[in-house]
Amino acid sequence: MQNAWKGAAMAALVAAAWVPAAAQTPVKIGFIGELSGPQASIGRDQYDGFMLVVERNGGMLGNVPVKVIKEDTQLKPDVANQAVRRLIEKEKVSIITGVSFSNIMMAVHKYVTDQQVFLIGSNAGPSQIAGAQCSAYQFITAWQGDQAAEVVGKYATDRQYKRVLLMAPNYQAGKDTVAGFKRHYKGQVVDELYTQLNQLDFAAEISQVSAGRPDAVFAFFPGGLGVSFAKQYAQAGLMKKVPLLSVFVADAINLPSIGDNALGMVSGSFWGPDLEVAANKRFVEDFEKKYGRIPSNYAAQSYDAAQLLDSAIGKVGGNVADKPAFMAALKAADFHSVRGSFRFNNNHFPIQDMRILEVAKDRKGRLSLKTVATPFKAVEDAYHDKCPLKN
């Protein structure tokens, strides 16, 4: 009888131990991104990369149930502001992730961080929030807006391109990208052409390229903009005459639409699908199996955002309301990044390698990106010293 009583008591204790986990209130996470219009592919890849981790973990991060609520910002700052207010004031989210474009980040950043809601940005990295407007509540798993262009600027110098024409959309990321290229390019900038953010017809700008006869063109046109630009550039017969250097024009989202004309195009990034990193191999394999396509850097950045949260939420046992403890857990960045080495700088942007990628066919005959060089190792962004946060 005594043994039976002990057995029953033990069973009750075990059952009681499982009740809190099973009944634990989910941690609410808001995801905001461009989920409609020409740029929807960027938001989709961010969301899919993030949810790959959540769904693989059975709807949990850090062994704690999570509820992800997504909102489409439509690339409109006023819509984004309404979305984050709804997520914070009505849904009571503790964390917001995503944020595809820098104008959206600048619209929502102050409000979100002033509310002491953790902002885990998985794409936009404008210079302001890397510098003087940084916040202890921001953690960016992507890149600062200048960095990918900086490495292409060095590549252009190393290739001895004497005259380069620069092109980008007329918004914060476009300006940051051009500034980044010029920071490490030692030749002559023929011209800087800025286009409307939703512009899809580049005939006038391509005519200026033909007339200016530069040694190369450097372009930043993310998502659907990049497809339109690269196709028109090739149709004008310029792809073989004037090398096209880019950031986020040639990526997994755009390459199927651009086609073989993209072969040989050069891009700058911190990540490529071919990186010989165990965590990256798993990510690429799982992403392709689930979604049937090669992941882009947008998916990789967001996958790392989910991995960061998986680690940090686990460290605090789901108690994200303990803000100092959760902040410290995020800062530790105790996870295996798809890019290899990963750590946060004082401004909570990554210190990371920056690479040169070239469009080539992969082993399955698909257009993809091949890593050809890593000119910058463990590089800090250009604005971290303007951020008052300390390591």
CATH number of the domain at 107, please: 3.40.50.2300
**Do 76 and 64 share a structural domain?**
yes
Give a yes or no: residue 385 inside a domain: no
Q: What is the DSSP letter of 24?
A: P
**Do 248 and 180 share a structural domain?**
yes
What is the b/e burial string over 325-354, where b = at least 16 CB atoms within 10 angstroms of the residue's CB?
Answer: ebbebbbebebebbbbebebbbbbbbbbbb
- Of the candidates 344, 307, 299, 353, which has an alpha carbon nearest to the alpha carbon of residue 140? 344
Flag residues of the chain having pLDDT under 50. 1-22
Angle at 58 between CA 29 and CA 252, to 5 degrees: 70
> For residues 63 and 42, what is the distance between their CA atoms, to the nearest angstrom?
28
**Do 171 and 71 share a structural domain?**
no
> For residues 356 and 366, what is the distance between their CA atoms, to the nearest angstrom?
19
**Do 111 and 205 share a structural domain?**
no
> For residues 180 and 156, what is the distance between their CA atoms, to the nearest angstrom?
13
**Do 373 and 259 share a structural domain?**
yes
pLDDT score of 346: 98
Give a yes or no: residue 390 inside a domain: no
Please give the residue range of the domain that contains residue 320. 25-144+275-352
- The CA distances from residue 99 to 19, 88, 187, 336, in Å, are 36, 15, 34, 22
Tokens standing for residue 224: 């659907």
Give a yes or no: residue 387 inside a domain: no
- Largest separation between any pair of C-alpha atoms in the chain: 97
Give a yes or no: residue 391 inside a domain: no
- Of the candidates 184, 46, 61, which has an alpha carbon nearest to the alpha carbon of residue 105? 46
**Do 121 and 34 share a structural domain?**
yes
Give a yes or no: residue 193 inside a domain: yes
pLDDT score of 197: 87
Domains held by the chain: number: 2
**Do 308 and 264 share a structural domain?**
no
Tokens standing for residue 378: 């463990």
Q: Identify the bridge partners of residue 193 per DSSP, sorted by sequence position.
A: 167
**Do 64 and 211 share a structural domain?**
no
Count of CB atoms within 10 A of residue 31's CB? Answer: 27
Give a yes or no: residue 5 inside a domain: no
**Do 138 and 151 share a structural domain?**
no
Give a yes or no: residue 373 inside a domain: yes
- The CA distances from residue 332 to 43, 308, 311, 323, 362, in Å, are 27, 9, 9, 14, 35
pLDDT score of 9: 42
pLDDT score of 16: 39
pLDDT score of 38: 84
**Do 297 and 348 share a structural domain?**
yes
**Do 232 and 88 share a structural domain?**
no
Coil, helix or strand for 190? strand
**Do 310 and 236 share a structural domain?**
no
Give a yes or no: residue 59 inside a domain: yes
- Of the candidates 151, 163, 280, which has an alpha carbon nearest to the alpha carbon of residue 214? 163
